[in-house]
Amino acid sequence: MKWIYILAMILGTPVLGAYLRAHPRYLVHTAFATGLLMFVAMPNFWVAPIPWPGWPGPVQGLELSFVDGISLAIIMATKRVRTPVSMKIAFAIVCLAALVSTFAGYQIMPAVFYDWQLLRAVLLFLAMVRLCATVPQAPVAFLGGLGVGLAYEAVLAIQQYLGGSDRPGGNLGHANFLGFCTYFVVFPVFALLLGSRRTLWPSIVVFCGLLIAVIGGSRATMGMFGIGVVLTILFSMQRRPTPRKWAFAGGAMLLLLMSAPVMLWAIDRRSEEQRVSSDLERESMKLAARMMIADHPLGVGPNQYVVIANTAGYSARAGVPWNYTSRSAPVHNTYYLVTAEFGLLGLVGLIALLVTLLFYGFRVLRLPSELANAEILPGLVAAVIASCVHLYYEWIFMTFTLHYLFAIGTGMMVGIGARMRVAAKVPLPRGSGFAAVPQAG
């Protein structure tokens, strides 16, 4: 069955690309379907031509997903839209760190698995940039599909909670995963609610995101949900204050205040002893990561933290509890994890990439634009900020699910920004990194 899936991708991708190129109106339908399937099918609908099912890292083989085929088809069906040079430089640093740490690390094969996953995320990012810069309806269609998918996850999470699960994670398996995924759906949809005439479905999506945050019980998710909503309001008001925005902003703040007792109840579902134990475990993991970084400034290799932490004795010396849950998980901090696996150069690349994305987001937020999609940008910038903060508390960003969603959100931001620059006729100096944005036929 695996090889049939791969053969279908190989044969179907160029067919889909040619069809979309000949019938560009269906790019909008593709955007909606892809957004929907990101939650409904993508977490479980993938294969590995080279599987390593017992590997304790987040990437357990050379994996392929139908999303990769859709990304290639979209790239085949659309024209090139250049990304900013600063982002290319930042990503080049990440790639250099991945290359160095792959050969400097302990094992090459698991490192190659992660390197391949990173390239798949870049492919999706480029597809999103092209799609959102070329097709005006694509960003809203994609958010519509993601919103329906998030509503599906909310229903699953409620069912799991009523069935006895203390921290339900819907189709993604864990509350922390699902909570992190909400940022690139809830905040841009909330921005669309503030800045457009759409009311019903964006309101439902935002409420579903709140439900997921509360039912999941993640302190970081609930905190970042509130902060992200506030940042979206501030950035949207900065762009253009309107009576509608003031009204919905007031309603959102009232909803947050009313839900505060529920959020406190969700946090208190975990006992004080459990919360303290969790915090101590995180600190011991950070200590293990610091020792590893000191011994391996070039990194131990992508996708290899858990193996090295256990076999080289770092977890034992740092006092990480001896149980499966603690010893089989990487350090709960993506910045530490990237530094341990990719070396100090990897940390520089990650920070450079996040900073350039934020600078770009703030720059295009200031552009005067009457484009409807410009109202989505405040939520996308808020999502990037929320992600930057949440990375300090979780390692789960290293999974392909969150790589995909991050690529979607940032690609959407760059694509919308490129279209805004062309519409505003902003002078683009030579080598600035943008090409003219074509119109869909």
Residue 291 lies in a domain: no
Residue 304 lies in a domain: no
Residue 348 lies in a domain: yes
pLDDT digits (tens, 9 = 90+) for 209-246: 999 988 887 788 888 999 999 999 999 999 889 999 99
Q: How many helices (H) and strands (E) does the chain have?
A: 18, 2
Residue 238 lies in a domain: yes
Residue 155 lies in a domain: yes
Residue 284 lies in a domain: no
The answer to whether 292 and 314 are in contact (CB under 8 A) is yes
| Predicted local distance difference test score (pLDDT) of residue 437 | 43
Give the total number of structural domains in the chain. Answer: 1
Residue 211 lies in a domain: yes
The answer to whether 391 and 167 are in contact (CB under 8 A) is no
* Residue range(s) defining the domain that contains residue 268: 2-272+330-424
The answer to whether 81 and 435 are in contact (CB under 8 A) is yes
Taking the C-alpha atoms of residue 396 and residue 383, their distance in angstroms, rounded to an integer, is 16
| Predicted local distance difference test score (pLDDT) of residue 396 | 87
Residue 193 lies in a domain: yes
pLDDT tens-place values along the chain, 441 residues long: 788 989 999 999 999 999 999 999 999 999 999 999 899 887 778 899 999 988 999 999 999 999 999 999 999 999 988 888 999 999 999 999 999 999 998 999 999 999 999 999 999 999 999 999 999 999 999 999 999 999 999 999 999 999 888 888 888 888 888 899 999 999 999 999 999 888 999 999 999 999 998 888 778 888 899 999 999 999 999 988 999 999 998 988 888 888 878 777 776 666 666 666 677 888 999 999 999 999 999 999 999 999 999 999 999 999 998 888 888 989 999 999 999 999 999 999 999 999 999 999 999 998 887 788 999 999 999 999 999 999 999 998 999 999 999 999 999 999 999 988 877 665 544 444 444 444 443
The total number of residues written for the chain in this structure: 441
